[in-house]
Amino acid sequence: MSGHDELVADLQRMLGTSGVLWQPGDMERYRVDWAGSQGALPLAVARPASVEEVAEVVGYCHRHDIPAVPQGGGSGLVEGALPDSVQPELVISLERLNRIREIDPIGYTISVDAGCILQNVKDAAAAEGCFFPLSLGAQGSCQIGGNVSTNAGGLNVLRYGMMRQQVLGLEVVLADGRIWHGMKALHKNNTGYDLKQLFIGAEGTLGIVTGAVLKLSPAPEVTRSAMLACPGVSAVMRLYTLARRCCCDLLSAFELIPRACIDLALEADANLPDPMDTRHPVYVLLEVSASGPANLDDMLEALFERGLEQGLLLDGVLASSDTQASQLWRIREAMLEGQQRRGDHLRSDISVPISQLSEFHDQAEAMVRKFAPEASVIAYGHVGDGNLHFNVLPPPDLPGDEVAMLLHTLEEQLFDIVDTFDGSISAEHGIGRLKQARFLESLSAPELDIMRGIKRLLDPRGQLGAGRILPRTPL
Amino acid sequence: MSGHDELVADLQRMLGTSGVLWQPGDMERYRVDWAGSQGALPLAVARPASVEEVAEVVGYCHRHDIPAVPQGGGSGLVEGALPDSVQPELVISLERLNRIREIDPIGYTISVDAGCILQNVKDAAAAEGCFFPLSLGAQGSCQIGGNVSTNAGGLNVLRYGMMRQQVLGLEVVLADGRIWHGMKALHKNNTGYDLKQLFIGAEGTLGIVTGAVLKLSPAPEVTRSAMLACPGVSAVMRLYTLARRCCCDLLSAFELIPRACIDLALEADANLPDPMDTRHPVYVLLEVSASGPANLDDMLEALFERGLEQGLLLDGVLASSDTQASQLWRIREAMLEGQQRRGDHLRSDISVPISQLSEFHDQAEAMVRKFAPEASVIAYGHVGDGNLHFNVLPPPDLPGDEVAMLLHTLEEQLFDIVDTFDGSISAEHGIGRLKQARFLESLSAPELDIMRGIKRLLDPRGQLGAGRILPRTPL
């Protein structure tokens, strides 16, 4: 038997026939992601159905020196989970680990397998009158293990925090095949170094998350959505400060949407009406929600009044029904579809201190005007977190090779501006392979030393997700 | 010059004369803590006044093989910051690093030196209409660096989270004297391993925190406190689930207070009135607060109504003024004073899953009745976090040596019960040296390996806080 045949036979012995894919046609869907990027053909795809099977496969890889990469729902945006082309890898898919293990509506916790699809976790929580706040475009396909490993963000971070803040306990298969049993459902536990923090956001390079205990909240009983029009980004940010105050801590989303995005949305979905009679420079889509008798309308009214008084607001629409609210939120989805239709463009995911976001926006826009006066800036995002997807559509008539060059230049320039604001070049998407070069440049010597040391400690042979976050060698 | 004289002279050269204490009388206050425990006399006390000075001292210790322990306000409860008696240590006090570096009321962040006293940080935030939520008995003396290093908890965790959730950025002097500059004021930053998580809760064993960027919230404009009487702990926990729902996410404290604690409070402070006309088995002291136009009375009314309906409530007092609210909260303080007056007693800080707290309480109480029928159980705490200070006062007539033995037995028994609930033996106080033996017993092989590896990575010579959390040798 060839080495490859032997690998497949061994995996079949461990996982059963249905637990292994090795025909190129069957493996096709494991080498593409949500953004359309394509990885290499993997050695095989292992589909373990239990934590013990994951441990067996990882231990086998450890003993036989086989590089492996864990894979969730494939909605990452930095090519972290795509099979490597430098050195063929075994894909370990968590898709069959998809049980809701336990839900505790008294203690507001849920315990799940890593392969559970986010939407299923949200639904399971809702069925018990609870709420799992993580809210992402990919929630119908992304998996909890991937959400943990990328420390996912999304729409509700300003109220509930990132995925890191949702995790109470973890179960992780370590690089040597041992299992770390850390599925504690405790809100407080100060016993030694908090090991789960190592694996959250590590993009599968330090171990494979197989289970998680997550915090839940009471399900909102009343929700209000509103779209507000503002004279500019600076006004939006001042409005945000006001909204935090007026809406108490019940503000669950605060999204910046420039006019260009509304146009993209209307382009993508002909049934969508313009949200207001007049065109305005920028819009805010916000949501407040409460699980008890809070008068959300009072809060929004206070916000509108004070916003108008202070000249921060031009107009506003308060959704008076669930249908109307859905229509407002449909704009947020449709604008992404519209953006996608425009072909190659600069996609970014930066963050800066909230109070400097407007100044950052203006500097970045001026930079684009300088380098590509005909390009369109599409800067939207979770400004309540200081997180902006500052994207740029290239001039429509630019030849393909020039587009690639322009986008690269714009990205470098944009990141330079991010640096002057002491910001982040990846607020929520992670590093993977796509952002590695710039990330490594930005690290100080102590940072690089500690990160390398952590990798060496937890994956001494460099077999898990090699080449993601940190370079393959030297470790 | 002797080695000690040389050390003092070298420190004086680095820090100036006022930066070093070495006379035994001057060092006395650095060897005792808030609980009255006493450590050994240190080699000297270094009092650096800048981050650079901290780095210089730590680098010096690294080169000259001098063990050092960082010290904040001295309110830790596990003897983590007290100078060691096995091997004399240099105390590095952060007390002179006490600047509020910057406050940003737009972005709701504050940047501070590690030696800032918690109350001063809270006051600086309040002066700008903001709120820093960490709330502890020791807030008038404890320091932010200690709060970070012990991942402090306190009264408001159920709404705002532990100290870990407040930290956006850190500045840390590493064991080799290098400075890690991680003072980013970003709410989202997924660039590589999140290094700050390593130092939070590490009790100063991996590096010395010298600065922190912290999240703020809008200052509450309206606050309501109430004391409720319940038939038992089980009812309290069901009431908590209800309170989370009725009070939306505006519930900021939910404290269990058994009747025995009320008696201790009245004993300690003769001016305190009994909060209700009748004696009840257990009480809940709760607080709700909001920064905007939320009708908190509506929420509390809904809670009272549903609580009464479901038989969870016997009586209740809603504070109708700030004075009345302060009086209710004064009970919480006075009960601790009363407990202190009773001399040696079992102090614990355990947590279990919230939904199992009542069952845990009953089992633990039965255990105490079995081993010491005359002892008094004083079980109060932050039950909204699953965190109980299950304390026991020994029988009043027991001889001193038997008290010590009994308390040790009760603690061992209590921890055994905690284990059966998959709980924590230290929810918020940490491990230090006091809880080390039991903590080490509880670790699995992978946990011990990883923790040792982290210590080795960040403090390869084992010079910082040696013997805290992990044993001194072998590393």
**How far are the Cα atoms of A142, A289, A356, B186, B291 from residue B218, in angstroms, in the given order?**
34, 18, 18, 17, 6
**Beta-bridge partners for A257:** A283
Using the beta-carbon criterion (under 8 Å), do A188 and B290 form an inter-chain contact? no
Q: How far away is chain A from the Cα of B299, in angstroms, using its nearest Cα?
A: 6
Instruction: Note whether A157 contacts B: Cβ–Cβ < 8 A.
Output: yes
Q: How far away is chain A from the Cα of B368, in angstroms, using its nearest Cα?
A: 24
Quick: pLDDT tens for A336-348: 999 989 889 999 9
Q: Is the dihedral of CA B464, B465, B470, B475 positive or negative?
A: positive
SS3 of residue B227 by DSSP = strand
Q: Given A189, A248, A351, which is nearest B291 (Cβ)?
A: A248
Q: State the best of A108, A111, A147, A187 to mutate against chain B, taking most chain B CBs within 10 Å.
A: A187
Q: Is the peptide bond before B474 cis (omega within 30 degrees of 0)?
A: yes
pLDDT for the residue B475: 43
Instruction: Note whether A421 contacts B: Cβ–Cβ < 8 A.
Output: no
Which residue's structure tokens are 């420190």?
B11
Q: Given A245, A444, A450, which is nearest B218 (Cβ)?
A: A245
Does pLDDT of A75 surpass 70?
yes
CA B473 – CA A342 distance, rounded (Å) = 62
Using the beta-carbon criterion (under 8 Å), do A198 and B193 form an inter-chain contact? yes
**Beta-bridge partners for B452:** none
Per-residue burial over B110-146, b if 16 or more Cβ lie within 10 Å, else e, is: bbbbbbbbbebbbebbeeeebbbbbbbebbebbbbbb
CA A426 – CA A439 distance, rounded (Å) = 9
Using the beta-carbon criterion (under 8 Å), do A431 and B162 form an inter-chain contact? no
Q: DSSP character for A321?
A: S
Using the beta-carbon criterion (under 8 Å), do A291 and B249 form an inter-chain contact? yes
Q: Given B190, B295, B354, which is nearest A151 (Cβ)?
A: B190
Q: How far away is chain B from the Cα of A157, in angstroms, using its nearest Cα?
A: 9
Which residue in chain A has the smallest CA separation from B357?
Answer: A107
Instruction: Note whether B445 contacts A: Cβ–Cβ < 8 A.
Output: yes
Q: Given A192, A386, A443, which is nearest B186 (Cβ)?
A: A386
Which residues 228-257 on chain A approach chain B with CB closer than 8 angstroms?
Answer: 237-238, 241, 244-250
SS3 of residue A182 by DSSP = strand
- Residues of chain B neighbouring A458 (CB-CB closer than 8 A): 450, 453
Tokens of B190: 């997924």
- Residues of chain A neighbouring B295 (CB-CB closer than 8 A): 293-295, 298
pLDDT for the residue A475: 43
| Angle between helices A233-246 and A296-309 in degrees, nearest 10 | 140
- Residues of chain B neighbouring A208 (CB-CB closer than 8 A): none
SS3 of residue B104 by DSSP = strand
**How far are the Cα atoms of A15, A23, A31, A378, B367 from residue A12, in angstroms, in the given order?**
5, 13, 21, 49, 51
Does pLDDT of A1 surpass 70?
no
pLDDT for the residue A2: 79
Q: Given B151, B386, B422, which is nearest A190 (Cβ)?
A: B151
Q: Is the peptide bond before A474 cis (omega within 30 degrees of 0)?
A: yes
Q: Given B164, B188, B299, which is nearest A428 (Cβ)?
A: B188
**Beta-bridge partners for A208:** A173
CA A76 – CA A87 distance, rounded (Å) = 21
CA B331 – CA B337 distance, rounded (Å) = 10
Which residue in chain B has the smallest CA separation from A148?
Answer: B190
pLDDT for the residue B1: 65
Quick: pLDDT tens for A309-323: 999 999 999 998 999
CA B46 – CA B68 distance, rounded (Å) = 10
Q: How far away is chain B from the Cα of A277, in angstroms, using its nearest Cα?
A: 30
CA B126 – CA A8 distance, rounded (Å) = 64
Tokens of A115: 């392969």
Tokens of A224: 């209000």
* Residue A35: band (very low, low, confident or very high) from pLDDT cuts 50, 70, 90: confident
Is B231 within 8 Å of A224 (Cβ atoms)?
Answer: no
With a CB cutoff of 8 Å and minimum separation 6, the contacts of B204 are B69, B70, B80, B81, B149, B464, B465, B468
Q: State the best of A157, A244, A248, A435 to mutate against chain B, taking most chain B CBs within 10 Å.
A: A248
Instruction: Note whether A22 contacts B: Cβ–Cβ < 8 A.
Output: no
Quick: pLDDT tens for A194-204: 999 999 999 99
Low-confidence ranges of chain B (pLDDT < 70): 1, 474-475
Which residue's structure tokens are 């090991």?
A195
CA B180 – CA A320 distance, rounded (Å) = 51
Quick: pLDDT tens for A214-260: 999 999 999 999 999 999 999 999 999 999 999 999 999 999 999 99
Of the candidates A162, A207, A210, A206, the residue with the CA atom closest to the CA atom of residue A470? A206
Which residues 302-341 on chain B approach chain A with CB closer than 8 angstroms?
Answer: 302
Q: State the best of B189, B210, B349 to mutate against chain A, taking most chain A CBs within 10 Å.
A: B189
DSSP string, B294-311: --HHHHHHHHHHHHHHTT
Which residue's structure tokens are 């200690």?
B146
Tokens of A74: 């494939």
Backbone angles phi, psi at A334, to 5 degrees: -60, -35
User: Alpha helix (H) ranges present in B106-206?
Assistant: 118-127, 144-149, 157-160, 163-166, 196-199
Which residues 347-376 on chain A approach chain B with CB closer than 8 angstroms?
Answer: 351-356
Does pLDDT of A34 surpass 90?
no
User: What structural domains and CATH numbers belong to chain A?
Assistant: 3-93 (3.30.43.10), 100-218 (3.30.465.10), 222-340 (3.30.70.2190), 350-420 (3.30.70.2740)
Half-sphere exposure (Cβ direction) of B404: Cα atoms closer than 13 Å: 2
Using the beta-carbon criterion (under 8 Å), do A158 and B109 form an inter-chain contact? no
DSSP string, B166-229: HEEEEEEE-TTS-EEEE----S---SSS-THHHHTTSTTSS-EEEEEEEE-EEPPSEEEEEEEE
CA A342 – CA A193 distance, rounded (Å) = 47
CA B126 – CA B108 distance, rounded (Å) = 11
Q: What is the CA radius of gyration of chain A?
A: 23
| Angle between helices B357-371 and B233-246 in degrees, nearest 10 | 160
Is A256 within 8 Å of A379 (Cβ atoms)?
Answer: yes
- Residues of chain A neighbouring B428 (CB-CB closer than 8 A): 188, 190
Q: For residue A74, is it left (φ>0), alpha (ψ between -120 and 50) or beta?
A: left
Length of chain B, please? 475
Using the beta-carbon criterion (under 8 Å), do A431 and B190 form an inter-chain contact? yes
CA A217 – CA B245 distance, rounded (Å) = 9
Quick: pLDDT tens for A407-436: 999 999 999 999 999 999 999 999 999 999
pLDDT for the residue B202: 98
- Residues of chain A neighbouring B237 (CB-CB closer than 8 A): 106
**Beta-bridge partners for A38:** A32
Quick: pLDDT tens for A87-100: 999 999 999 999 99
Using the beta-carbon criterion (under 8 Å), do B106 and A457 form an inter-chain contact? no
**How far are the Cα atoms of A241, A245, A381, B328 from residue A385, in angstroms, in the given order?**
12, 15, 9, 37
- Residues of chain B neighbouring A427 (CB-CB closer than 8 A): 186, 188-190
Is A259 within 8 Å of A282 (Cβ atoms)?
Answer: yes
Using the beta-carbon criterion (under 8 Å), do B446 and A294 form an inter-chain contact? no
Instruction: Provide the 10 A C-beta neighbour count for residue A115.
Output: 27
With a CB cutoff of 8 Å and minimum separation 6, the contacts of A367 are A410, A413, A414, A417
A72, exposed or middle or buried, with CB in 10 Å at 0-12, 13-18, 19+? buried
CA B150 – CA B140 distance, rounded (Å) = 17
Q: ∠ CA A415-A417-A420 to the nearest 5 degrees? A: 115
Q: Given B194, B292, B450, which is nearest A246 (Cβ)?
A: B292
Tokens of B141: 């003396």
Instruction: Note whether B415 contacts A: Cβ–Cβ < 8 A.
Output: no
CA B393 – CA B336 distance, rounded (Å) = 12
Tokens of A237: 């940010």
pLDDT for the residue B34: 87
User: Alpha helix (H) ranges present in B269-356?
Assistant: 296-309, 322-341
Instruction: Note whether B218 contacts A: Cβ–Cβ < 8 A.
Output: yes
Using the beta-carbon criterion (under 8 Å), do B191 and A431 form an inter-chain contact? yes
Is B213 within 8 Å of B169 (Cβ atoms)?
Answer: yes
- Residues of chain A neighbouring B389 (CB-CB closer than 8 A): none
CA A260 – CA A375 distance, rounded (Å) = 12
Of the candidates A220, A199, A223, A228, the residue with the CA atom closest to the CA atom of residue A211? A199
- Chains A, B: CB contacts under 8 A, how many? 301
SS3 of residue B210 by DSSP = strand
SS3 of residue A130 by DSSP = strand
- Residues of chain A neighbouring B190 (CB-CB closer than 8 A): 150-151, 153, 201, 424, 426-431
Instruction: Provide the 10 A C-beta neighbour count for residue B316.
Output: 20
Using the beta-carbon criterion (under 8 Å), do B353 and A104 form an inter-chain contact? yes
**Beta-bridge partners for A390:** A379
Spacing of C-alpha B426 from chain mean position: 10
Start-to-end CA distance of chain A, whole Å, equals 33
Tokens of A384: 């309540």
Using the beta-carbon criterion (under 8 Å), do B422 and A184 form an inter-chain contact? yes
